[in-house]
Amino acid sequence: MEDWSKDITHSYLEQETTGRNKNTQPDEQLPVNSKGSMHQKSNELVNEATYESTELPEQRSRNLQLVSPHPDDETAYCTAGKSNIMDHRNDLHCECTNPCQVTSDLSKEETIALLLKELNILKASNKKLQEKLSKEDKEHRKLKLKLELQEKATEAQIAEKTAALVEEVYLAQKERDEAILSRLQLANEERDEAIARAKHMEMSLKLLENINPEENDMTLQELLNRINNADTGVAIQKNGAIIVDRIYKTKECKKRITAEEMDAVIEERDAALSQCKRLEQELHHLKEQKQTSANNMRHLTAENNQERALKAKLLAMQQARETAVQQYKKLEEEIQTLRVYYSLHKSLSQEESLKDQFNLTLSTYEEALKNRENIVSITQQQNEELATQLQQALTDRANMELELQRAVEASRTANDKIQNLSLRFLFVCGPWTLSPAPLGGHGKPELNLTSIISQMLSSIAEAASMSFR
């Protein structure tokens, strides 16, 4: 800071010297030999020095009020200022000593005293400025700490907000999964109900057809045969009453089945309407969730994906609603068609139904007679064929029995012959044939009874087989 104040004084002195040089330029043009001009110059220099000594403190105090915002650059600037001030002082000293050394000594003492005072003043101001700088440094550090704390607080708030948003997203996903599971359960329940209704409709249709139409036809045929074979009017009335009762029961059954079908269709319509209302409520709920999630998820990157998912859900819900509306319309059309059929069925007369039933019974009776005749003819042909086959089998059996008897007799005769021949052979050969065949004198084997008997038996068997053939 002292160097900086010296630099300011140096700049002021330079300005004064430039003005003084301007004032001294016309004097330099005068001849140097004149003593009066030299004396005047010395007087002017003394006056200027006194003038500088009087004006320097005020101007320096004014110049000291200008504080540089960059304290780091002051050191280099002050060092350069010191050298300039010393050079300027040396120049002034040289200029003053040349005209008059006595006046210069006095001015030096005065200037030194003034400069010492200025230095003291500058030191005090420098201390004040240092205190201000220390205070500003402390304030700067405090501001930095405050900013860091604020940044940390904002980061913590952002983290809390993100955690809250993540929790909201997780809860929304949970609600979505639960809604999907509930929808799947409802769809499965509706499917089971539809299957049960279809089974009920099939059972009702089977009841309408009475499961076995042949038995009903047979009963009607029997009733008609009774009417045809009846001799008295009472029997005819009884059979007619039974037929009328049968027709009335069939009509009641048809009415009951149609009423059940109408009730089932109405229930399906009500279920479709309730489903439409429920889907609308879910759609409204999803819209509200979408709005809340959009407000909460503006600063997150997953907002676009969630919006797309919600849009897809909305489209799916709209499609489901459209399908439900179409089903509702189809059910209404089916109800109308059933009503038309029911009215047409009622409009048909009872006589036409009776005529149709009578014609059907007659046609079935005729077809049954034709089928019976055909079956009888076929059975007769089959019986004749079986009789011929039995006769052929009996003849074959008799022939086989005769052949067996012949073969048994031939085998008996052959056995008798074999026994006789074996006895004769034993009688002719004697007991020596029973011993084993020893070798003769010349090394040839003698005859053996067992080999001879085996040859004889084989020849007899061949003769017997030839005789059988």
- Predicted confidence band at 326 (pLDDT cuts at 50, 70, 90)? confident
- Cα(326)–Cα(338) distance, integer angstroms: 18
The yes-or-no verdict on residue 400 having pLDDT over 80 is yes
Q: What is the mean pLDDT of the chain?
A: 70
Tell whether the model's pLDDT for residue 263 goes beyond 80. yes
Q: What pLDDT is attached to residue 22?
A: 45
Task: Give the rounded percent of residues in the chain with a pLDDT score beyond 90.
Answer: 3
Cβ(258)–Cβ(313) under 8 Å?
no
**Structure confidence at residue 54 as a pLDDT band (50, 70, 90):** very low
Tens digit of pLDDT for each residue in 281-299?
Answer: 888 888 887 777 767 666 5
**Residue 198, pLDDT above cutoff 70:** yes
Dist. CA 161–CA 155, nearest whole Å: 10
User: Residue 388: pLDDT above 50?
Assistant: yes
* SS3 category, 439: strand
Average pLDDT of span 371-383: 81
Say what the pLDDT of residue 131 is. 92
Distance CA 321, CA 279 (A): 7
On the question of pLDDT at 444 being above 60, the answer is: no
Lowest mean pLDDT across 26-40, 118-132, 220-234, 250-264: 26-40
Looking at residue 88, its amino acid is H
Count of CB atoms within 10 A of residue 193's CB?
13
Mean pLDDT of 61-83: 43
Residue 95 contacts residue 20 (beta carbons within 8 Å): no
Q: Residue ranges of the domains in the chain?
A: 2-144, 159-350, 373-468
For residue 64, pLDDT over 80 is answered with no
User: Under a CB-based contact definition with an 8 Å cutoff, are residues 99 and 41 in contact?
Assistant: yes
Could you give the residue ranges of the DSSP H alpha helices within 65-100? 74-97
72 pLDDT more than 60: no
Q: What is the mean pLDDT of residues 166-185?
A: 83
- Single pTM value for the model: 0.23
Comparing CA positions, the residue from 53, 51, 24 lying closest to residue 40 is: 24
Q: What is the mean pLDDT of residues 177-193?
A: 84
327-340 per-position pLDDT tens digit = 777 777 877 777 77
Residue for token digits 């010393």? 86
Question: What pLDDT score was predicted for residue 129?
Answer: 92
Residue 438: the pLDDT is 45
Q: What pLDDT is attached to residue 294? A: 66
Dist CA 111 CA 117 (whole Å)? 10
Whether 181 shows a pLDDT value over 60: the answer reads yes
- What DSSP element (H or E) covers 343? helix 303-347
Neighbours of 449 (CB within 10 A): 18
Q: Which of 163-172, 399-408, 445-454 has the lowest mean pLDDT?
A: 445-454
Question: Which pLDDT does position 121 carry in this prediction?
Answer: 92
Which of 84-98, 238-252, 382-396, 414-428 ranks highest by mean pLDDT?
A: 382-396
Q: What tokens does 285 get?
A: 């709920």
pLDDT of residue 15: 54
